Chain A
Amino acid sequence: MDLLKVENLRMYFETIRGYVKAVDDVTFTVSTKESLGLAGESGCGKTSTALSILRLLPSNGRIVGGSITLDGEEVAHMSEKEVREKIRWKKASMIFQGAMNALHPTYTIGTQIAEAILKHEDVNKKDALERAGKLLELVGLEAAKVDRYPHELSGGMKQRAVTAMALACNPQLVIADEPTTALDVIVQAQVLRVMKELQSRLDLSWILITHDLSMIAETCTTCAIMYAGKIAEYGDVVHIFKEPLHPYTQKLITAFPSVLGPKMELSSISGFPPDLLNPPPGCRFHPRCPHAMDICRKKEPVMTEGRKSQHVACHLY
């Protein structure tokens, strides 16, 4: 069953120089227990998409079209009060990029987790703190850590604590935005394992936002590759990594070195992502695409099913 359905979502930022089309006609679904990896370079709209789902956009960001259906409810045009009461924390929560460094230094970990529970549910403080302890156990920390202050925890522990916080009100969907960027490889592997375990134990759905495709290959079941505010390719993770269709995906996947297998030359893409104030006409990737044809410069490609469970927006298919 589809838990989250994003259809033709458009989210623009209003600036003095015009509209920045951060998210432009994005469509994807996340079903129960699915983990979707949202990948792309910086500025491609991955975080903006996530913020739209939770309606956490900055004041100049506006959803100008499309719909977001979460567990049967339309989120895109809900009132702020309704979003706060029904959606955030309870249905969907988010682990922000660098959240572990945004913990309040003068409150204990337990108080900070309990705060979310107290705000959203009718429980007393003692029960909320007890639940905070249970949540910490869930992510592999001792329950006694509720009395600790952030500076007493290591980076990996803090990341686990904010993961526990995201689970405070039993959401069905958790969005993790670059959850491991500040961590070392070994700790990163530990945190990713915790996330995977939680998913199967709590029947969660995840959206993992990252620029690191290797991380998606390790943890996700489906994958969407974004480029300049649009989804270039979307589908099953094995298909996308084994037989990528979009020229951008093909290049991006082989741009990551691997410790396993034969040593291969890394591919590179000349040029850089376009300015979203004035995106290029036609396909937004055409100035950097090795297969660009005449039609690519003129007409925008539509998302088509290139192969079974693999959608691609490219004129080649």
Chain B
Amino acid sequence: MKKDTTVEVNNLVKHFDIKLGFFKTLTTREAPHVHAVDGVSFEIKRGEIFGLVGESGCGKTTTGKCLIRLIEPTYGEVFFKGVDVLALAREQDVRKLRRNMQIIFQDPYESLNPRMSIYDIVAEPLHIQKVVEREDELSNRVSQALEDLDLIPPEEFLYRFPHELSGGQRQRVAIARAFVLRPEFLVADEPVSMLDASIRSEVLKLLLSLQQRFHTSFLYITHDIALARHMCDRIGVMYLGKIVEKGTTDDVVQKPLHPYTEALIAAVPVPDPTARRIEVVIKGEVPSAINPPSGCRFHTRCPYAMDVCRKKEPPLIELDGDRHVACWLRGDQKDASS
């Protein structure tokens, strides 16, 4: 493991079992699974924002939750600064780890307990981690966390309840709760998708400024590649549980190598009525993750699909400059397939 790597993920897999009825279990030889995450690998450097981009159901949220063990992966490896996260068996060890690994959820209307005051919400991680002992220090830390997120003056928010705040303020409270422990790694799961445009950019700016101040590493999960371009240093594009392309954001957005990335970029509406657009050539919708297509999982929708795509799965190969792609059209893969 390289020195400046905060998080390393190797071949992460998560299959969810499907509950069958009694008679079905007698007749079915192998229980079906939802292949939510199927062999995902990436690393996040210190102070870097790594984006996972993909459509709903591609496994990006499951990946994020597996990293901090909110979901137990089926197998794979996750290292946080050299510590094998998945090997930790005792609950207190996992808890200790979470002091440095936090998450911001998508919907601030659901992620905040309506019966707790803002003070209690932000102070809870400090209580659980027992990082401060004195009550006055605790309230200082809470006020500081709120101030860091422009909830000023903090006294005005401390004793309010979530329902008294607007959506943008709620999400800032949720971010304050995640940041109050000064974690080294943060999973941000679509943190602004529920917010209105005028408020969205403000929250994004706050996230970026905090990230720069504390050199936090981020896993930024989003369906919006335009937003990922704005926020992330490197991105991985996911399709049906697999990373199909990975690289620095500029490379991936400006010169997409995988047909799926190409389609994702072409499909995003552009806020410019005079911009010349590429037509979206992809047809249909994402197939089911219970029986993913054979070979390359994208072949059913790919405009360039060849014979080999239907039969053999393309490996994620490394190209120049930390660029990875899993497609038979790229690199030396044509030779490898024959």
> Which chain A residues have a beta carbon within 8 Å of chain B's beta carbons?
41-42, 154-156, 184-190, 192-193, 211-215, 217-218, 220, 237-238, 241-242, 251-253, 255-261, 263, 266-270, 272
Encoded as 1 (CB less than 8 Å from any A CB) or 0, chain B from 214 to 234 comes to 000000000111110110000
Chain B residues in 8 Å Cβ range of A193:
280
- Expressed in whole angstroms, the minimum distance between the Cβ of A193 and any Cβ of chain B is 7
Chain A residues in 8 Å Cβ range of B275:
217, 260-261
Chain A residues in 8 Å Cβ range of B196:
41-42, 211
Interface residues contributed by chain B, number (CB under 8 Å): 40
- Expressed in whole angstroms, the minimum distance between the Cβ of B274 and any Cβ of chain A is 6
> Which chain B residues have a beta carbon within 8 Å of chain A's beta carbons?
55-56, 166, 168, 196-202, 204-205, 223-227, 229-230, 253, 263-275, 277, 280, 282-283, 285-286
A218-B269, A237-B273, A270-B202 known; A257+B226 contact, CB < 8 A: yes
Cβ 8 A contact of B273, one of A156, A211, A238: A238
Task: Report the Cα distance A185→B229, complex, angstroms.
Answer: 15
Is B166 a contact partner of A211 (Cβ separation < 8 A)? no
- Expressed in whole angstroms, the minimum distance between the Cβ of B53 and any Cβ of chain A is 10
A211-B197, A256-B197, A268-B201 known; A186+B270 contact, CB < 8 A: no
- Expressed in whole angstroms, the minimum distance between the Cβ of B303 and any Cβ of chain A is 12
Chain B residues in 8 Å Cβ range of A192:
269
Is B56 a contact partner of A184 (Cβ separation < 8 A)? yes
Is A189 a contact partner of B230 (Cβ separation < 8 A)? no
Is A188 a contact partner of B267 (Cβ separation < 8 A)? yes
Per CB-CB distance, the 5 closest pairs between chain A and chain B, nearest first, are A214-B269, A268-B202, A266-B201, A189-B267, A268-B201
Chain A residues in 8 Å Cβ range of B271:
213-214, 217, 241, 253, 256, 258
Is A218 a contact partner of B201 (Cβ separation < 8 A)? no
A214-B271, A218-B269, A238-B274 known; A268+B198 contact, CB < 8 A: yes
- Name the residue of chain B whose CB is nearest to the CB of A264: B230
Chain B residues in 8 Å Cβ range of A272:
166, 168, 199
A217-B269, A259-B265 known; A185+B55 contact, CB < 8 A: yes
Task: Report the Cα distance A213→B269, complex, angstroms.
Answer: 9
- Expressed in whole angstroms, the minimum distance between the Cβ of A225 and any Cβ of chain B is 11
Most buried by A among B166, B272, B273, B280: B273
Is B229 a contact partner of A259 (Cβ separation < 8 A)? yes
Chain B residues in 8 Å Cβ range of A241:
271-274
- Expressed in whole angstroms, the minimum distance between the Cβ of A138 and any Cβ of chain B is 18
Chain A residues in 8 Å Cβ range of B224:
185, 257
Chain A residues in 8 Å Cβ range of B230:
257, 263, 266
- Expressed in whole angstroms, the minimum distance between the Cβ of A180 and any Cβ of chain B is 9
Chain A residues in 8 Å Cβ range of B204:
266
- Expressed in whole angstroms, the minimum distance between the Cβ of B193 and any Cβ of chain A is 11
Is A185 a contact partner of B264 (Cβ separation < 8 A)? yes
- Expressed in whole angstroms, the minimum distance between the Cβ of B192 and any Cβ of chain A is 11
Is A218 a contact partner of B55 (Cβ separation < 8 A)? no
Chain B residues in 8 Å Cβ range of A253:
271
Task: Report the Cα distance A155→B168, complex, angstroms.
Answer: 29
What would be 30 A-B contacts, judged by CB atoms less than 8 Å apart?
A184-B56, A185-B223, A185-B225, A185-B264, A185-B267, A186-B263, A186-B264, A189-B269, A189-B280, A192-B269, A193-B280, A212-B269, A214-B226, A217-B273, A217-B275, A218-B273, A238-B273, A241-B273, A242-B274, A253-B271, A255-B197, A255-B200, A258-B271, A259-B225, A259-B253, A268-B199, A268-B200, A269-B199, A269-B202, A272-B168
Task: Report the Cα distance A193→B266, complex, angstroms.
Answer: 13
- Expressed in whole angstroms, the minimum distance between the Cβ of B202 and any Cβ of chain A is 4
Chain A residues in 8 Å Cβ range of B267:
185-186, 188-189
Is A258 a contact partner of B226 (Cβ separation < 8 A)? yes
Task: Report the Cα distance A154→B285, complex, angstroms.
Answer: 8
Task: Report the Cα distance A95→B204, complex, angstroms.
Answer: 32
- Expressed in whole angstroms, the minimum distance between the Cβ of B171 and any Cβ of chain A is 12
- Name the residue of chain A whose CB is nearest to the CB of B283: A190
- Expressed in whole angstroms, the minimum distance between the Cβ of A208 and any Cβ of chain B is 12
Chain B residues in 8 Å Cβ range of A189:
266-267, 269, 280
Task: Report the Cα distance A235→B266, complex, angstroms.
Answer: 27
A185-B223, A186-B264 known; A218+B199 contact, CB < 8 A: no
A211-B197, A266-B205 known; A184+B273 contact, CB < 8 A: no
Task: Report the Cα distance A155→B271, complex, angstroms.
Answer: 25
- Name the residue of chain B whose CB is nearest to the CB of A214: B269
Chain B residues in 8 Å Cβ range of A251:
198
A185-B55, A272-B166 known; A217+B197 contact, CB < 8 A: no
- Expressed in whole angstroms, the minimum distance between the Cβ of B301 and any Cβ of chain A is 8
Is B198 a contact partner of A252 (Cβ separation < 8 A)? yes
- Expressed in whole angstroms, the minimum distance between the Cβ of A2 and any Cβ of chain B is 22
Task: Report the Cα distance A213→B226, complex, angstroms.
Answer: 13
Chain A residues in 8 Å Cβ range of B282:
186
Chain A residues in 8 Å Cβ range of B263:
186
- Expressed in whole angstroms, the minimum distance between the Cβ of A233 and any Cβ of chain B is 15
Chain A residues in 8 Å Cβ range of B197:
41, 211-213, 252, 255-256
Task: Report the Cα distance A270→B265, complex, angstroms.
Answer: 30
Most buried by B among A155, A253, A269: A269
- Name the residue of chain A whose CB is nearest to the CB of B230: A257
- Expressed in whole angstroms, the minimum distance between the Cβ of A229 and any Cβ of chain B is 15
A214-B270, A218-B269 known; A155+B285 contact, CB < 8 A: yes
Is A258 a contact partner of B272 (Cβ separation < 8 A)? yes
Chain A residues in 8 Å Cβ range of B227:
257
